[in-house]
Amino acid sequence: MQVEKVAASRLADADFMNLGFGDVFSDHMVTCKFEEGNWSEPKIGPFEPIPMSPASLALHYGQTVFEGLKAFRGTKDGRVRLFRMDKNADRLQDSCERLCIPVLDRRIFIDAITELVKLDQEWAPSNRGEALYVRPIVIATEGHLAVRPSASYMLVIFTSPVCEYFAQSRSRLYLKAEERFTRAAPGGTGYAKTASNYAVTLRPINDSVNQGYDQILWLDGQSHRFVEEAGQMNIFFRLGETVVTPELGGTILPGVTRDSVLTLLKEQGIPCLERRVLMEELVDAEAAGTLQESFGAGTASVVVPIGRINYLGNDICLPEASNDDLCPALYDQILGIQHGELEDRHQWMTTVDG
Ligand SMILES: *Cc1c(COP(=O)(O)O)cnc(C)c1O
């Protein structure tokens, strides 16, 4: 891969004692162009602004998709490892396909990320829970005003040393079940990681945060009675002895963390169901004392416990944290695998050598 290194690294200026989420960017980025019907070889160069036409189709009609994954520094060996990037490669292809973006070879994507993280591995923080976040985006670059797929695209991949998303507020989340606004509808783009899926959530999230909630609990777009996702996280409930999460059906983002949680729980013999979850079922389970636990799952936040959910003006309250809660155990297992402390039984990690 063609690599142009920065003249001087910015690493010494980065404040690793006070990491936020996504306010510092590492030295280099990958760029890869699609022109005249082909994806070119990716290149690595300095992290810098990208020139683009003011008429770029990405800017006007939102033809842009992204991904998010993390690399972790090993607690014992200091080596840097990427978590399940094959899943992100697959999902990027699905997202591209939904928005008429020419699909990129998985190998090119995986190799480009590996090379980039290897080059900037000094930027991977060393505290447990912190990570080098990898953000790939694909944008339509053609300048044109017709509403049609762009003829040219650019893949950009850059990295950012981050703390955990909810590191500041390690308390349990208070969600507002959103009964007016909709994130995704059947036939829409809910399963794809598109920029537009995020744009439509800004206003409802802002309103909810102003009303004192931490996040929104998205409900289905038709009846607003079925649970879909908790903000940018998939959601889980422990009902009696069974763990339940909404089934993927086109409106829910197939999270890599969601899949990892299901894999780990099933491995421990904990019954898991992927099915529709009715809000009234949660209200009833709370009354019956069978609603044990709820948590969100996503790359940025790993797993985060939920304390309360406001639905139609009333709070559904989860029981106080207890010793046999699954969420803290899952958190330790996932982080343990990511930081190379636990055996990687599922070949989830890719070590970045050199
Ligand atoms: C990215 C994302 C998630 C979490 O997916 P992970 O692969 O676990 O990071 C969940 N919901 C939405 C809407 C997302 O965009």
> How large is the angle between the packed helices 85-98 and 256-267, nearest 10 degrees?
130
Q: Which of 137, 163, 189 is the last residue of a domain?
A: 163
Residue nearest to atom 12 of ligand 1 (CA): 232
- Residue 11 — φ and ψ, nearest 5°? -55, -40
Atom of ligand 1 nearest to the CA of 88: 7
What does the pLDDT read at residue 192? Answer: 98
What does the pLDDT read at residue 168? Answer: 54
Q: Which of 116, 135, 163 is the last residue of a domain?
A: 163
Question: Closest Cα partner for 154 from 167, 130, 138, 143?
Answer: 138
The answer, yes or no, to whether any atom of ligand 1 lies below 6 A from the CB of 201, is no
Q: Which of 163, 197, 226 is the last residue of a domain?
A: 163
Q: How far is the CA of 299 from the centre of ligand 1 (A)?
A: 7
The answer, yes or no, to whether any atom of ligand 1 lies below 6 A from the CB of 255, is yes
Secondary structure element (H or E) that encloses residue 92, with its range: helix 85-98
User: Do 177 and 143 fall within a single domain?
Assistant: no
CA 240 to chain centroid, in Å, comes to 28
CA distances from 334 to 98, 128, 200, 216, 346 (A): 30, 11, 31, 24, 12
Q: How far is the CA of 88 from the centre of ligand 1 (A)?
A: 10
User: Do 132 and 192 fall within a single domain?
Assistant: no
Are 65 and 138 in contact, with CB atoms under 8 Å apart? yes
User: Do 14 and 155 fall within a single domain?
Assistant: yes
168 within some domain? no
User: Do 70 and 156 fall within a single domain?
Assistant: yes
353 within some domain? no
The answer, yes or no, to whether any atom of ligand 1 lies below 6 A from the CB of 256, is yes
Q: How far is the CA of 158 from the centre of ligand 1 (A)?
A: 18
Q: How far is the CA of 160 from the centre of ligand 1 (A)?
A: 18
User: Do 9 and 155 fall within a single domain?
Assistant: yes
User: Do 72 and 45 fall within a single domain?
Assistant: yes
Strands (E) located in the chain = 2-3, 28-35, 38-39, 43-46, 64-66, 69-73, 80-83, 131-140, 153-162, 173-178, 215-219, 227-230, 233-239, 242-245, 272-274, 291-298, 302-311, 314-317, 349-352
270 within some domain? yes
Atom of ligand 1 nearest to the CA of 259: 8
Which of 233, 245, 252, 260 to mutate to test ligand 1, by most ligand atoms within 8 A of the CB atom? 233
* Weakly modelled stretches of the chain, pLDDT under 70: 167-170, 354
241 within some domain? yes
DSSP letter for 80, please: E
Q: For the residues of 303-323, what is the DSSP string, one character each?
A: EEEEEEEEETTEEEEPPPP-T
User: Do 189 and 159 fall within a single domain?
Assistant: no
115 within some domain? yes
The answer, yes or no, to whether any atom of ligand 1 lies below 6 A from the CB of 296, is no
User: Do 20 and 113 fall within a single domain?
Assistant: yes
Instruction: Point out which residues pair with 194 in neighbouring strands.
Output: 65
> How large is the angle between the packed helices 256-267 and 326-338, nearest 10 degrees?
110
Instruction: Point out which residues pair with 263 in neighbouring strands.
Output: none
User: Do 238 and 313 fall within a single domain?
Assistant: yes
User: Do 206 and 122 fall within a single domain?
Assistant: no
**The domain spanning residue 105 has which CATH number?**
3.30.470.10
- Residue 48 — φ and ψ, nearest 5°? -155, 165
Question: Closest Cα partner for 236 from 323, 128, 329, 166?
Answer: 329
Q: How far is the CA of 304 from the centre of ligand 1 (A)?
A: 13
- Cβ within 8 Å of residue 167, ≥6 positions away: 129
> How large is the angle between the packed helices 85-98 and 106-119, nearest 10 degrees?
130
Residue nearest to atom 6 of ligand 1 (CA): 255
Tens of pLDDT, residue by residue over 49-74, are 999 999 999 999 999 999 999 999 99
The answer, yes or no, to whether any atom of ligand 1 lies below 6 A from the CB of 234, is yes
Structural domain boundaries, residue 320: 173-338
Q: How many domains does the chain have?
A: 2
Tens of pLDDT, residue by residue over 180-221, are 999 999 999 999 999 999 999 999 999 999 999 999 999 999
User: Do 157 and 208 fall within a single domain?
Assistant: no
347 within some domain? no
**The domain spanning residue 316 has which CATH number?**
3.20.10.10
Are 272 and 262 in contact, with CB atoms under 8 Å apart? yes
346 within some domain? no
Q: How far is the CA of 191 from the centre of ligand 1 (A)?
A: 9
Residues 222, 239: Cα–Cα separation, whole Å = 25
Atom of ligand 1 nearest to the CA of 229: 11
pTM above 0.75, yes or no: yes
Are 251 and 188 in contact, with CB atoms under 8 Å apart? yes
351 within some domain? no
User: Do 199 and 334 fall within a single domain?
Assistant: yes
Are 338 and 81 in contact, with CB atoms under 8 Å apart? yes
